[in-house]
A and B are shown apart, each in its own frame.
Chain A
Amino acid sequence: MIRVGKLNPFWVNALLAVLLGLSLIQLGGASPVSLRRMTDVTGQFLYWPEKPALELRALTQAASNWVLERATLQEQARELQKENLLLRATLQKMGKPTPKAETNLVPAKVTLRHPEAWWKELRVDRGSKHGVRVGAPVLSEGHLIGKVSYVGDSYAWIELLTSSSFLIAAVVDETWDLGVITGDDMGNIWLLYIPEGKKLKKNMRISTALVGDYLPPGIPIGKVWGEGEARGGFLPQKVASGAHLTQLYGVYIYLTGGAATP
């Protein structure tokens, strides 16, 4: 009986804590905006204590990339130089001046990716004070991986290509077929609204089509990888992203109009 008497305050407090925790879970489900706000406030509060680890991670990643991917990057640079020269020559033949670069790629480090929403969104350490705007495309390894969905002062949330709520117009480079890119929340990317009669081949390249103010056409997305199940006269195409979406540590936010602070 003495033991029971001693236990009471402990059990009462434990019960209170459990009830409080369950209320928070319920509140988070009912009001995702407040949940996002609290997550961001905690992230900002912990920004400086976490800064050394964040920098160390970026440094380690850069070092390993330098060693492991140097040859690949050099090969990519050569290919891009060749492509650039061809495009310049084409523009000259058409009598058009080479456009001035009014875009900016803002490098950003990934600071949060919830396991519960792994294929939906992530948070980066660049925000409105760095020029980031809602809708801006986000790239990794030269390929589109998502777009900015929410901007805070010094952070931004990125909606990933693999999210089922992500919808963007895309074009198959080889055939000029237009479709809509979306995800399924499970890591897969699909190109929808391709008529059943169209025979797309594996490895055909897909890039963005002209759709909005912040999203320019021609950004590479990935390649055709397979076919889905035909429905309503359309044959969805499975898309392989050109970037490694499983592990994203640093991304580039594509800003048009300049004025961004890297």
Chain B
Amino acid sequence: MMVALFLWLAQNMLQVLFMGILLVPNVFLLLVLFRVARGIAHSKEITACVWQGFIGGILWDFRWTGLPGLSGVLNTLAIAFVAWIWWRNPATGRTPLLFAIVAGGAHLAVGFVHYLTWEVPSAAALRLFSIQQLLMLPFLMLFYILYIWKSPDTHV
């Protein structure tokens, strides 16, 4: 919980620093998705992740977007999507690579829905959106490594 709060605040501070220049990647969402993938066997843990993602999204909306509730809904849908994919796969199929693809895809989809709601001219908005997705990649790589590191007994 504290890690999520710290990451949310760090992401918010970075957004303040780069306001008008770029959109920081949604690292908070990646963390919550990582927790969902890691704690898939524990119902209570992933249920807590739903509310963490939702509240983090709502706070982000109240701070940065003109549509309160949008990030909350999108974060929840992303969490549900990752959980659904994870449950559909056997334990051996839940590889770090699959996690990276699914989490990256969810981040891309969430960012794209936000992009559709923006008012800035399309070329500038597309640039902002693309840079945000590119900046997400190092963080996704970090969670990918963390996933491998946290799974020593799965031989993946």
Contacts and interface: CB of A to CB of B under 8 A. Distances in A.
Interface string B13-26: 11011011101000
A18 B76 contact: yes
Interface in A103-135: 110-120
Interface residues of B, number: 48
A182 B66 CA distance: 22
B148 interface: no
A114 B21 CA distance: 13
Contacts of B128: 115
A53 B19 CA distance: 10
A38 B62 contact: yes
A25 to B, nearest CB: 4
Contacts of B59: 42
A7 interface: yes
Interface residues of A, number: 50
B76 A14 contact: yes
A116 B20 contact: no
A18 B73 contact: yes
A35 B58 CA distance: 12
Contact of B12 (A46, A119, A186, A247): A46
Interface in B32-81: 43-44, 46-47, 50-51, 53-54, 57-59, 61-70, 72-73, 76-77, 79-80
Given A21-B72, A53-B16, A117-B119, A10 B46 contact: yes
A6 interface: yes
A11 B81 CA distance: 11
Contacts of A39: 62-63, 68
Contact of B17 (A18, A42, A57, A115): A57
Contact of A116 (B67, B73, B76): B67
Nearest to B118: A115
A43 B60 CA distance: 11
B116 to A, nearest CB: 10
Residues of B contacting A: mostly: helix
A3 interface: yes
A187 interface: yes
Select the residue from A10, A118, A187 with max chain B CB neighbours within 10 A.
Answer: A10
Interface in A231-262: 246-249
A114 B76 contact: no
Interface in A16-61: 17-18, 20-25, 27-28, 35, 38-39, 41-43, 46, 49-50, 52-54, 56-57
B47 A247 contact: no
A9 interface: yes
A24 B75 CA distance: 14
Contacts of A118: 118-120
B54 A21 contact: yes
Contacts of A11: 80
A57 B16 contact: yes
A46 B19 CA distance: 15
B114 interface: yes
A173 interface: no
Contact of B19 (A6, A23, A110, A187): A110
Given A10-B83, A186-B121, A38 B9 contact: no
B69 to A, nearest CB: 3
Interface of B: 9, 12-14, 16-17, 19-21, 23, 43-44, 46-47, 50-51, 53-54, 57-59, 61-70, 72-73, 76-77, 79-80, 83, 87, 114, 117-121, 124-125, 128
List 10 tightest A-B contacts by C-beta distance, closest first.
Answer: A24-B69, A21-B73, A42-B62, A21-B72, A116-B66, A25-B69, A53-B16, A114-B66, A115-B118, A17-B54
Given A28-B67, A50-B13, 7 more contacts: A14-B83, A17-B72, A25-B70, A50-B12, A57-B16, A57-B19, A112-B64
